[in-house]
Structure 1
């Protein structure tokens, strides 16, 4: 290792998703079920709002906390939902930026953070950057949030519980009862509760419930990337207790500075855009891919997001199955990128119906060969 490289960078590897994309670059016209972003473009009115901002000279730094109109609109929406007196909001540089700021603001070396396995790939890496200790909770085979398992993992070093519902990579949604139990556990134990709600609008079988409804000190991370196909625009937002938000803003001032200003004006317009048609379309896509694969694969039917996390057939494991799929021109993601286990793989059903049908046909063919 080069002598200038910091030791903290050796505690985690580069994202395995990037390795899959490197393999994908060698393929011609692959069947792509790997991308974790919507397959529709940014709605035109949002594009126009950002263009108007650029042409109107709104190209400088914004305030670190975000442009006033967007923060005001977010504050009103959040106040209407929760009504908490001690709750502030700021605009982050994407939800990934919000996650990093939350870790840097609250995690000291040696602090333990509890989250479910499988998990979003960033969680353990961000924790290790801060010197935190990841405490993954095995949620196989159903991937449900089990409050008793969370409670059993709490120690005197537990600083944070990190929730993600609907979840990446499983698409599984926690019930209101499960969320309430964990929210009250965190409150009773004085543990920080961070809720990653980036897929909150992709909820198919019931209304979305935030643990914030049961614990007023919950820190929520959300954004516009997935809901409005604005993944490259880097506009997220974080809300929670004022002192926590102020600390996160202090770090943002010396790191990200601010979210791109023209994109924030686009996000303001996005708050007026109805997503009902897109959400209904993704519910239909969820049903389609589940129907196509149910005879050949074991999986938990996702209640949200746009992912399916099936068990790989045979005994070779998830990564070996994914390599076989890639060799046949199908891009999916091995489950061991998101987990300590190598038994599953992730499908994104954010794709055209034709792509889903072609991909499912090849997956079923590979399953019969396993």
Structure 2
């Protein structure tokens, strides 16, 4: 290793998802069910708002906390949802930026952070950067949030519980009762509760529930990337107790500085866009892929997001099955990127119906 490289960088690898993306760039016309981003473009009214901002000279730094119209619009929505809570909000450089700021603001070296396995790939890496200790709680085979398992993982060193519902990579949504139990556990133990809600608008069978409804100290991280197809625009937001938000802002000031200003103006318009047609389309895509694979694959039917996390057929494991699929031109993600186990693989159904049908046909062929 080069002598200039910091030791902390050796504690985690580059994202395995990026390696699959690199493969995708080399394959000619692959069946791509790997990418975790919407397959529709940014709605035109949002594009127009960002272009207008650029052309009217709104290209400088914004305030670190974000432009006032976006924060005011968000606060109006937050206060309507949590009317009796004292919450503040700021605009982060994507939800990934919000997650990093949360870790840097609250996790000391040696502090333990609980989250479910399977997990979003960034969680363990961000924890290692901040010196925290990951405590993954096994949620196989159904990927449900089990409050008893969370409670059993709590120790005197537990600093944070990190929730993600709907979840990446499983698409599983926690129930109201499960979220309330974990929220009350965190409150009773004085443990920070962080809720990653980037897929909050992708709910297919029930209404979205946040643990912040049951614990007013919950730190909520959300954004526009997935819901409005703005993944490259890097506009997220975080709301929670004012003292925590102020600390996160202090770190943002010396790191990300601010989210891109023109795209914040786009996000102001995004607050007015009706996404019902897109959500209905994803519900139909969810049904298309689940119905197509139900006879040959084991999986928990996702209630949200746009992912399916099936068990790989046979005994070779998830990574070996994914290699075989990629050799046949089908791009999917091995489950061991998101988990301590190598038994499953992730499909993104944020794709055209034609691509989904082709993928289903090839997966069923590979399953024998």
Q: Please confirm whether the aligned pair reaches a TM-score higher than 0.5, indicating the same fold.
A: yes
What residue is the counterpart of 1:66 in the other structure?
Answer: 66
- SS in structure 2 opposite 1:25? helix
What residue is the counterpart of 1:336 in the other structure?
Answer: 336
What residue is the counterpart of 2:97 in the other structure?
Answer: 97
Whether contact under 8 Å (2:85, 2:216) holds in the other structure is: no
**Displacement of 1:23:** 2.1
Distance between the aligned counterparts of 1:192 and 1:16, measured in 2?
29
- 1:273-292 → structure 2 map (5 Å cutoff): 273-292=273-292
Distance between the aligned counterparts of 2:195 and 2:111, measured in 1?
18
What residue is the counterpart of 2:178 in the other structure?
Answer: 178
What residue is the counterpart of 1:14 in the other structure?
Answer: 14
**Displacement of 1:317:** 0.3
**Displacement of 1:328:** 0.2
- 1:45-84 → structure 2 map (5 Å cutoff): 45-84=45-84
Give the TM-score, by structure 2 length. 1.00
- 1:340-359 → structure 2 map (5 Å cutoff): 340-359=340-359
**Displacement of 1:19:** 1.3
Whether contact under 8 Å (1:195, 1:218) holds in the other structure is: yes
What residue is the counterpart of 1:120 in the other structure?
Answer: 120
Whether contact under 8 Å (2:222, 2:236) holds in the other structure is: yes
Give the TM-score, by structure 1 length. 0.99
Whether contact under 8 Å (1:109, 1:131) holds in the other structure is: yes
- The two structures, once aligned, show a CA RMSD in angstroms of 0.5
Distance between the aligned counterparts of 2:26 and 2:17, measured in 1?
15
What residue is the counterpart of 1:88 in the other structure?
Answer: 88
Whether contact under 8 Å (1:91, 1:259) holds in the other structure is: yes
Whether contact under 8 Å (1:24, 1:326) holds in the other structure is: no
**Displacement of 1:174:** 0.0
Whether contact under 8 Å (1:92, 1:237) holds in the other structure is: yes
Distance between the aligned counterparts of 1:93 and 1:84, measured in 2?
28
Whether contact under 8 Å (2:37, 2:226) holds in the other structure is: yes
**Displacement of 1:20:** 1.2
Give a deviation string over 1:142-201, Cα, whole Å, max 9, x none: 000000000000000000000000000000000000000000000000000000000000
Moved over 6 A (4+): none
What residue is the counterpart of 2:138 in the other structure?
Answer: 138
**Displacement of 1:84:** 3.8
**Displacement of 1:2:** 0.7
Distance between the aligned counterparts of 1:275 and 1:138, measured in 2?
34
What residue is the counterpart of 1:310 in the other structure?
Answer: 310
What residue is the counterpart of 1:259 in the other structure?
Answer: 259
More displaced stretch, 13-22 vs 231-240: 13-22
What residue is the counterpart of 1:148 in the other structure?
Answer: 148
Matched residue pairs, number? 368
Whether contact under 8 Å (1:179, 1:211) holds in the other structure is: yes
Distance between the aligned counterparts of 1:97 and 1:57, measured in 2?
25
What residue is the counterpart of 1:227 in the other structure?
Answer: 227
Whether contact under 8 Å (2:332, 2:346) holds in the other structure is: yes
Distance between the aligned counterparts of 2:324 and 2:298, measured in 1?
18
Distance between the aligned counterparts of 1:220 and 1:269, measured in 2?
21
Give a deviation string over 1:22-41, Cα, whole Å, max 9, x none: 22222100000000000000
More displaced stretch, 23-32 vs 186-195: 23-32
Question: Could you list the runs of 5+ residues in structure 2 that have no partner in the other structure?
Answer: none
Distance between the aligned counterparts of 1:86 and 1:110, measured in 2?
30
